[in-house]
Amino acid sequence: MPSIRSTIDVDFLEKLNALGRGSSSTGAALVQSIKGGEATESRVRKGLRSGAQYYAKALNGINYVGSLVNYARQDLEEMQKLTTSMAAFAEEASKEGTGTQRRRTLNRQFFSAAKRFLEINENAESNGRKYLTKSGVEEALVLIGLDPQKSPDIRNIMDDFVADGADSSLASAHIKGKDTHLPASAGRPSPAHATEELFRRDRNLLERADAQAVLDDLNALSGQIDTNLKNFENVSAILLENAVLVRATAVSMLSIEEEIQNDTEASKVATLLQQSIRRNARGALSQLDHLEPMAVAALTLTDETLALGKG
């Protein structure tokens, strides 16, 4: 975990000030601010004001991604219930004593639930961002500066998501389960079960072996959804930590900017900021590495970018 002294220092304040003058490259921003000709005190105060604005906007970004995560969890929970129902239909249809007419009824019930499942998956987007895909979740995190390519914490969470299919779906009809071997008397499943995705009409419950093949894949689907629901809990937890840190940083910057004198040294301001953030964001200091990239990302966040709306 980075130390607060190495993260919240004079350079950090200089970078925030330079970002406010139009530079999104923190390295270039530091050089620009040092050579900018302003008095150090003026730059520091501007850095505090700019930083408070960036982190207020960053908090809006975190809340936006949090809403997407809530959408995803709600949809996956409903899809898991549907999967459980479909598995019950398939399991009954796979039993030796289930008659032909009963299998037809189960098959109708299965495809009715499947239709709803597919509708949820198809409509799982907000403002064009598909939140039930691994790529969509990653895109949303990158938008607010939480890039898995740069943050080990974010990368570990993203690596735990189970995605299947070319669309990186987190609840994929393409998933395949471990085959259950039925007695020879049950027959063999249709070749379609080996090549076709779930919920296609040529993959049905009308024969015992076919029903078992569907059940095997549904069990795998249920496991995928369960894993990804748990991973979304991890995303929510890390978003909460970053929200606490960002809020504490913004409030601290505003408070200190109002209190310091024009002749206060930049190093003293940095120390005051360290103390305030440490006091107000105790449980979130592990996320200090994200402060700078979230400030940079905040420059690109607009009301349009953060607009919500399902479907």
- 310 within domain boundaries: no
CB 125 within 8 A of CB 310: yes
CA 221 to chain CA centroid, Å, is 20
The reply to whether 136 falls in a domain is yes
Q: Contact at 8 Å (CB) between 157 and 235?
A: yes
**Mean local confidence (pLDDT), 7-36:** 62
Within a domain: 308:
no
State the pLDDT confidence band at 257, using cuts at 50, 70 and 90.
Answer: confident
Task: Find the range with the poorest average confidence among 12-21, 154-163, 243-252.
Answer: 12-21
**Structural domain tally of the chain?**
1
> Which has more pLDDT, 182 or 47?
47
Residue 148 contacts residue 138 (beta carbons within 8 Å): yes
Q: What is the pLDDT of residue 173?
A: 94
Rg (CA), the chain: 26
Residue 307 lies in a domain: no
With cut-offs at 50, 70 and 90, classify the pLDDT of residue 35: very low
More confident residue, 170 or 184: 170
Q: Could you tell me if residue 80 is inside a domain?
A: yes
Over range 255-264, report the average pLDDT. 80
Token pair for residue 206? 């009308």
| 106 or 45, higher pLDDT | 106
Work out the percent of the chain whose per-residue pLDDT is above 70: 88
15 has a pLDDT exceeding 90: no
pLDDT in tens, 73-131: 999 999 999 999 999 999 999 999 999 999 999 999 999 999 999 999 999 999 889 99
Report the percentage of the chain scoring pLDDT > 90.
Answer: 67
Average predicted confidence (pLDDT) for the chain: 88
Q: Report yes or no on 305 lying in a domain.
A: no
Q: Could you list the residue range(s) of the whole structural domain that residue 252 is in?
A: 5-298
Specify the CATH number for the domain of residue 123.
1.20.1330.10
> Residue 18 — pLDDT band, cuts 50, 70, 90?
confident
Are 68 and 74 in contact by the 8 Å Cβ rule? The answer is no
Cα 26 to chain centroid, rounded: 25
Query: Model-level pTM greater than 0.85?
Result: yes
pLDDT of residue 262: 66
Evaluate whether 288 touches 245 at the Cβ level (below 8 Å).
yes
Q: What was the pLDDT predicted at 40?
A: 53
Distant-in-sequence, close-in-space partners of 9: CB < 8 Å, separation ≥ 6: 270
Longest Cα–Cα distance in the chain: 90
**Mean pLDDT throughout 32-48?**
57
User: Alpha-carbon dihedral of residues 168, 170, 174, 179, nearest 10 degrees?
Assistant: 130
The predicted-structure confidence for 138-181, as pLDDT tens digits, reads as follows: 999 999 999 999 999 999 999 999 997 667 999 999 999 998 87
In a domain, residue 309? The reply is no
- What whole-number distance in Å separates Cα of residue 110 and Cα of residue 276? 57
Instruction: Give the integer Cα–Cα distance in Å for 293 and 142.
Output: 10
Question: Is residue 304 in a domain?
Answer: no
Specify the higher pLDDT residue, 153 or 17: 153
Query: Is residue 242 pLDDT above 80, yes or no?
Result: yes
Model confidence at 31: pLDDT above 50: no
pLDDT in tens, 193-202: 888 899 999 9
Residue 38 scores a pLDDT above 60: no
- pLDDT score at 191: 85
pLDDT of residue 24: 45
